[in-house]
Amino acid sequence: MLIALKDNHSKNILTLSNVVEYDNWVKIVGDKLIPGFPGAGSDIKKDILHAEFGSKNIQGTTFGEINGEMTKRIVKISKIFETSKMPYEVSNSIQAFHITHAAISMTNKHFYTENGMVGLRPAKSMKTLKNIAVDIKNNLTRIERIGMPIMPSRMVMLKKSTCFFICVDILYYVEHKIYKGCFIRQSCS
């Protein structure tokens, strides 16, 4: 895809993906590159899934200059998001954001087996949640050990919380934000 963008005459190319190294991208598109990550979020209202491109409750679209500077083009892109009423965040360390996201997301492995996703009961079991919490804490500790900040900084609380509270927070998030409490009911029809 980036090779197709190489000869594009746009002044800026905002990529919304999860990569942690930008060197190859810069070789292809040059200083047009603005790394970013798409917003995440959705909601269930009256049993209907409303997919959203970013949510203030979950995560707005995140982007920033590789060097962390607040440039004129970042200000312009921010204004486009504001005009569009789309949640966004400007990161002063987009690479740290991408690495933190990968470190937290890779804990989703606990929801899968060789045969696919685990069922709802194992997914919300304290064992699964504890494994996720331990992995999150270990992964974030590794990020700090290499001298990189945890981004966004609000994710530091995951490292500082006890496993029990992370488990409870994950369970609450899964039940109330994703499934709107349908674990509690007999079915999620």
Query: What residue ranges do the domains of the chain occupy?
Result: 2-92, 96-178
Examine residue 152 and say whether the peptide bond preceding it is cis (omega within 30 degrees of 0): yes
What element of type H or E holds 89?
strand 88-90
Question: What are the per-10-residue average pLDDT scores of the chain (189 residues)?
Answer: 79 89 89 89 68 64 95 97 90 94 89 83 81 87 94 79 61 54 37
CATH superfamily of 2-92: NAD(P)-binding Rossmann-like Domain (3.40.50.720)
Contacts by 119-128 with C-beta closer than 8 Å and gap 24+?
120/183, 123/174, 124/171, 124/174, 124/175, 124/183, 126/167
pLDDT at 182: 42
pLDDT at 187: 34
Q: How far apart are CA 142 and CA 10, in angstroms?
A: 38
pLDDT at 185: 35
pLDDT at 67: 96
Q: What pTM value is reported for the model?
A: 0.77
Q: Do residues 54 and 81 touch, judged by C-beta distance below 8 A?
A: no
pLDDT at 66: 96
